[in-house]
Structures are given as structure tokens and as C-alpha cells.
Amino acid sequence: MSGVLVMMEQRNGAWNRMSFEALAAGQQLAEHLGTECSAVVVGRNSGSLSQELASKKLKKVYAIDHELLASYTADGYLAALEQFVKQEAPDYVLFPHTYRVRDFAPALATRFSQVLISDVITIRYGSGSTGSPMFVRQLLQGKLNADYRHTSQGPCFVSVQAGTFRSDAVQEGTASVETFTPQLLPDQIRSKPGEPFRESSQSVDLSSAPLIVSVGRGIGEQDSLSLVEELAQALGAELAASRPICDNGWLPMERQVGSSGQTVSPKLYVAVGISGAIQHLVGMKGSKAVLAINKDENAPIFEIADYGVVGDLFEIVPELTKAVLAAKG
Amino acid sequence: MKIVVAIKQVPERDAPVHIAADGRWIDESDLNYTINEPDAYALEEALQLKEKGGDGEVVVVCAGPDRVQSTLREALAKGADRAIHIECDDLGSRDTLGIARILAEAIKEEAPDLILTGLQSDDLGLGQTGVVLAELLGIPHATIIMQVELLGSGLKVKRELEDGWFQHVEMPLPALLTIQSGGNKLRYATLMGIKKAKSKEMKTVAAFPATAAPAVELERVFLPEKQKKTEMFTGSPAEIAAKIVEKLKFEVRVL
């Protein structure tokens, strides 16, 4: 088929919304390359989902359907997608950079002697028709960006970071739907997946909090957390944290903001001693206003902060608490 | 049970970021190196599995130049039994597939029951080496693992999904798992451990020669452009606090 293929992710008939961001990326890439974009959905009886895609500007919608694909397994997805990509031979295969994609897409690329360009934040296009696109991804926890280029023969596999492309940029149109039935046998699938579950202790809902004070590695030790708690209390804000704080057991996991924790969009997000690794940023970049306090002026958190202080949080946070209390009278 | 832990040596987190003259990586002259944090959790999981089982062996493997031996030695001090240093001075010119190949060649001979590694590296952050390694070795894998339980001839693992969701997955051995941080508490090396590490075996092997040109190339690194105009506050802590309160009152309107 050549062109661009976008893999859309679904679970039990519900989309992972990041799929539409990847779809927008795929449509844009195809336009720049002067080619067409198609989409594929993997699962069992995903007819209504593929029908939904039939109203998008796509060359074709493929439904890879098999009873052994009812729930996700790496072995099942790998075997099915390998057969499909071999048959259709797209130039580019785009994925949303989800946890599931991280589980199988690197191995899919390996089957084509390729390497997935993972977690891409921008696609840049050359001015002429000769230059191949440049895929930008982050290094060193967001402190550095890098240009990656596909330099070999065969399909180019790319996953797109959450929030990089806008799902409302997906163009409407019409496309026909085709079913692809892969050859799969039960003993090819070596792992047995259980049903997804949530820990019962999940009782803190940060997603609706109007004010959040969040703390990261910069706090140094557990005993210092009280500094940040006092600021949160003064503001009437919920206390949250980046992953390392919860990993250390200093705050419960349910207070974690980021890709593995909660996604928040408060009126004010105060980031104290948080450097702003991408896994954290994806959970809070929807905040209306961000105040960052960090000793490292190159911390990536400042790239998305509205207000910033480069300095010692142990000096600034207590003063801020005092000033907030005074302002509230 | 024989467990291989694949670890990576990376620049320390607060390493200075100065772009190197060739524009493809950062200047390494002032860098201090440490174990990649998710790999430290993989090592911890391996040590705990061995302790729970009562017997077995934990072998740590790391590819890179001579300096990676310090990271391997540290892993031995924490309790690993043996170390394998895959001598490789050109890691930067190999892509994920090239690096997974040299790991696969070295690990194949060990024929481990279980391979653990961190879910991604703190420097390149590709999050793929473990999955590609499993694919090259032809063994099942699971990623972003919080807990590991041995079940007779197989494993039951707790896999992290997005937004606070989890899932259990069962699989046969041998298998490869990529470990998420936070599933365990990391141990420190004891003085006794450091002393013992000196007499433990560290084998150096040559890296498998590159057989193919890289499929993808890192062409250039650069500092990120700011996405937002940030208003920076300076002054004494009290002055800064007063300026922030002003903004919170009149611009953000939350006070």
C-alpha cells in the first residue's frame, strides 16, 4: 500500500483517546509526503470502532480481527501485525506512545530489522521533496532534544507522545473498511493476561482539585515534606508528588501526578523541586497556571511554567507560606 | 534459578548539559556516572527473588567502555554474584537493535531462567532494549512490572497500566521483564558487601561486532525551545514570595 499506517488502540470496544492524536500525526505526515494515510484497529468484533474511522480522511480502514486478539497479548499482537505489515508494506507505521505500544512495538520493529523511534514530540519536514522527515524526541529526562532520522530500507516505525498532536485536528472524510484475518494458533500465545484492575485504596481524586501543590526529588528527604504540606494547607491546595517521592514511600501512590498516576488540570499547579521529566509533564501540562520553584535553571519544568523561581526551595517555600497566610488575613 | 540483570551506566541526574563539539551528544569530560535508576530496581528485584528462593545466582551484565566496571562493581557490592562487562567503546553509534544484539550474544551463553532490566534508561529514554532483547532471544516478555511472583515453572507479574490501573500476567520461564521503579525499596551496599565484591568474578568479553548499519540515526542534539513565556521572579526570598502572592491574587485569582 505504501503510504502511512496508523495503529489505533482500543480496549473492550473503547478507544484509547491518544489514538486520535496519532491519527492526526499520520494524516499530517501523509500530506507532507504527498501520500495517503490508512488506519488499523486490532481486536475482536471491533466493527463499530472501524465504522467510526470510516468517516475520517483515510485511504482505508483495516480491522484485524481474530478471537485470540480479544484481549491484548504481545505474542498475539506481534504475530497479527507482522503478517499485516508484511502484506500491506506501508512506508511509515505510527502508534500512540501508550503502555501497550511500549510492550510490543519495539519487537514488531525488530521483526523488520527496524528500530522504533519512540515517544516523538515533533515531526519536522524538509523544504524539498527529497529530505525524509526528522523525528524529534527528548533525551536526559527532557533536558535535551534530539533529531532522529530513518536511514534504512523498510517501514519506519514511530510512536507519538501524548499531547503532541491535537486529536481535534483529525480530518473528516470517507474510507472503506476491510477486515484482515491473521493466522494465529492458541499455543503461539505464551502469556496469560488478567483483567485490568485498580488498587482499592484509590481514594484521592486530584483531577478535580482547583489548586495543587506538588513536590519532587528536590525536597531531598522525607522530613522536609512538612514545608510543602504547610504551603498546600495555606493555599487550601491538594498535595501531590512526582513519581520518585511515591516510589520512596514518602507519599502514597494515589497522590502521584504523571503518566502512571493521575492527570490533573487545576487553576494553579505549584511544582516544588520537580525537574519536569516528560512522564510528569504529561500529567499536568493542562494546568491553567504553573508556578515552578527549582534550583536548576535548565530544569525542563520551566519550559512550561508561567511563573518561575530559580532558587533554594528551603528558603522560598516557607516565605511563600507566610506571605500566603498574610494575604488571606 | 539463574537471573541475569542487564544494567546501563548513565550520567548522574544533575549532570551539566553541554552539547559536545560534534553536536550529537553531551560533552562527557565533566560527567559522573551511575547506575540507571530503573535498572537499580531490576537488580533489587533479582536480589530479593534469590533471597526468597533461598538459592540461585544473580549475574549482572553491562555494555560500555572501561568506566562501566565501577557500576558493575557496585552491583556486586549490593549482592550480585558475578558480573559480565561487554567491552564496547562505540555504544553511541549503535541503535537499539545493535545494542540488544550484543547483550543477546553475551546472555545467550548464560542460559538464564529470568532476565530483568529497567523499563527505560534515564539518558536516551527509548524504553525498548528489554523488549528487543526478548525478541532476539525468542522468549516471552512483559513490561513496566511492579511485582514478580514465582509460580512453579512460571511467573505471575503485576504490570502497570496507565492512570493507576494494573494487570496480572502469567507466563512461562525463561522470560524477560522490564522493571518499573517503586516496586521495591533499594538497598545500599554494606561495608561487608563492598569488601566481598572485590573477590567476586568480573568477566570481560568483547562486544559482538556490528553486523548492520543502524536503522535509525541520531543526527543532532539541541536544547529545547521554551513553549511558554515564563515570568521569572528574583530577589530575596521574602521579595519573591510577595511577587508570587501578587500574581496569585490578580492574575491567577486564587487568593
Answer yes or no: do B228 and A306 touch at CB < 8 A.
yes
- Chain B positions touching A304 (Cβ under 8 A) are 227-228
* Cross-chain residue pair A243–B172, CB shorter than 8 Å: no
Model pLDDT, residue A128:
53
pLDDT score of A1: 66
Contact A66/A80 with Cβ under 8 angstroms? yes
pLDDT at A163: 84
Pairwise CB contact (< 8 Å): A145 & B221? yes
**How many residues can be counted in chain B?**
255
Residue of A nearest to B242 (CA): A323
**What's the average model confidence in pLDDT over A180-209?**
89
Taking an 8 Å cut-off on Cβ atoms, the answer to whether A267 and B252 are in contact is yes
pLDDT tens track for A33-84? 999 999 999 999 888 899 999 999 999 999 999 999 999 999 999 999 999 9
Of A98, A107, A141, the CB nearest to B122: A141
Q: pLDDT tens string for chain B (255 positions)? A: 999 999 999 999 888 889 999 999 999 988 999 999 999 999 999 999 999 988 899 999 999 999 999 999 999 999 999 999 999 998 888 999 999 999 999 999 999 999 999 999 999 999 999 999 999 999 999 999 999 999 988 999 999 988 778 999 999 999 999 999 988 999 999 999 999 999 999 999 999 888 888 999 999 999 988 777 899 999 999 999 999 999 999 999 999
Query: Which positions in chain B touch A328 (Cβ < 8 Å)?
Result: 255
Per-residue pLDDT for A130 more than 60?
Answer: no
ipTM associated with this complex: 0.93
Q: Please give the interface size between A and B, counted as residue pairs whose CB atoms are below 8 Å apart.
A: 265
* pLDDT at A161 (0 to 100): 93
For the stretch A75-100, what's the b/e string if a residue is b when 16 or more beta carbons lie within 10 angstroms of its beta carbon?
bbbbbbbebbbeebebbbbbbbbbbb
Nearest to A148 among B160, B217, B222 (CB): B217
Interface test with B, best of A191, A256, A275 (most B CBs within 10 A): A191
Q: Which chain A residues contact residue B231 at CB under 8 A? A: 306-308
Contacts of A324 in chain B (CB under 8 A): 245, 248, 255
pLDDT for position A47: 83
Mutation to test the A interface, candidates B126, B157, B221, B234, most A Cβ within 10 Å: B126
Please identify among residues 31-90 of chain B the ones whose CB lies closer than 8 Å to any CB of chain A: none
For residues B133 and B176, the answer to whether their CB atoms sit within 8 Å is yes
- Residue B119 has φ and ψ, to the nearest 5°, of -70, -25
Can you give the three-state secondary structure of chain A, one letter per residue? CCCEEEEECEECCEECCHHHHHHHHHHHHHHHHCCCEEEEEEECCCHHHHHHHCCECCCEEEEEECHHHCCCCHHHHHHHHHHHHHHHCCCEEEEECCHHHHHHHHHHHHHCCCCCEEEEEEEECCCCCCCCCEEEEEEHHHCEEEEEEECCCCCEEEEECCCCCCHHHCCECCCEEEEECCCCCHHHCCCEECCCEECCCCCCCCCCCCEEEEECHHHCCHHHHHHHHHHHHHHCCEEEECHHHHHCCCCCHHHEECCCCECCCCCEEEEECCCCCHHHHHHHCCCCEEEEEECCCCCCHHHHCCEEEECCHHHHHHHHHHHHHHHHC
What are the boundaries of each domain within chain A? 4-188, 206-328
Q: Which pLDDT value is given to residue B24?
A: 92
pLDDT tens, position by position, A258-315: 988 888 999 999 999 999 988 899 899 889 999 999 999 989 999 999 999 999 999 9
Whether pLDDT at A201 is above 80: no
Which grid cell sits at A220?
531531598
The domain ranges of chain B are: 2-206
Is the pLDDT at A200 greater than 80? The verdict is no
Set of cell numbers at residue B154: 512460571
User: B216 touching A, CB under 8 A?
Assistant: yes
Is B152 at the interface with chain A, CB within 8 A? Answer: no
Q: pLDDT at residue A127 above 80?
A: no
Does B231 contact A307 at a Cβ distance shorter than 8 Å? Answer: yes
Q: Does B241 sit within 8 Å of A146, measured CB to CB?
A: no
CB contact under 8 A, B125 and A141: yes
Query: End-to-end distance of chain A based on CA atoms, in angstroms?
Result: 68
Residue B43: per-residue pLDDT: 98
Residue in B with minimal Cα distance to A141: B122
> Is A4-188's fold the same as A206-328's?
yes
- Cβ separation of B245 and A267 shorter than 8 Å? no
Give the homologous superfamily in CATH for domain A4-188. HUPs (3.40.50.620)
State pTM to two decimals.
0.91
Does the beta carbon of B211 lie under 8 angstroms from any beta carbon of chain A?
no
Q: Tell me, yes or no, if B222 comes closer than 8 A to chain A by beta carbon.
A: yes
Q: Do A308 and B230 touch (CB under 8 A)?
A: yes
pLDDT value at residue A205: 85
Contact B245 A246 (CB under 8 A): no
| Shortest Cα–Cα distance, A173 to chain B (Å) | 31
Select from A107, A262, A323 the Cβ nearest to the Cβ of B135: A107
Asked if B218 lies within 8 A of A262 by C-beta distance, the reply is no
Which residue among B131, B212, B244 places its CB closest to the CB of A320? Answer: B244
Neighboring chain B residues of A322 at a CB cutoff of 8 Å: 241
CATH 3.40.50.620 fits B2-206, yes or no: yes
- For residue range A147-191, what is the model confidence (pLDDT) as tens digits? 999 999 999 999 999 888 999 999 999 999 999 999 999 999 999
Q: How high is the pLDDT of residue B29? A: 87
Q: Which CATH entry fits the domain spanning A206-328: 3.40.50.1220, 3.40.50.150, 3.40.50.970, 3.30.460.20?
A: 3.40.50.1220
B99 touches chain A (CB under 8 A): no
Partner A contacted by B91 (CB < 8 A): no
